[in-house]
Amino acid sequence: MATVKFTFEDKSISPVIIDNVEEGLSILEVTEDNDIHLNHNCGGVCACSTCHVYVEKGEDFLEEISDKEEDFIDRAINPKLESRLGCQCVILDSEAYIEIQIPDQRKIIGHEH
């Protein structure tokens, strides 16, 4: 099973490590399953940029970025080279180790789970 470590731009939130993550889940689904706050206005269908995250490690273990995802990342707050949309980051390997930083969600108007 994969391991995903979440860190947060909001330093008042402690890092969270989730073990036993199933291959085939998206980063958004992992946050939903583990009560980690990540906005997602469109419901995870790559139609907005509210589930924007930074992939700090393990990009090779995630589904490749699409042109559509790149277009929406351009609309995100403070996009960087390591920016992805959580709904599109599908875990491809059960042995993956991935580190994700979640931007400060207080700056994003969006749906909470």
Q: Is 90 exceeded by the pLDDT of residue 113?
A: no
For the cut 70, the answer to whether the pLDDT of residue 110 exceeds it is no
The stretch 91-113 carries a mean pLDDT of: 85
Average pLDDT, the chain: 94
pLDDT of residue 106: 86
pTM: 0.93
| Residue 102: closest CA among 41, 54, 50 | 54
Rounded Cα gap, residues 52 and 102, in angstroms: 8
- All structural domains of the chain: 2-107 (3.10.20.30)
pLDDT in tens, 10-60: 999 999 999 999 999 999 999 999 999 999 998 889 999 999 999 999 999
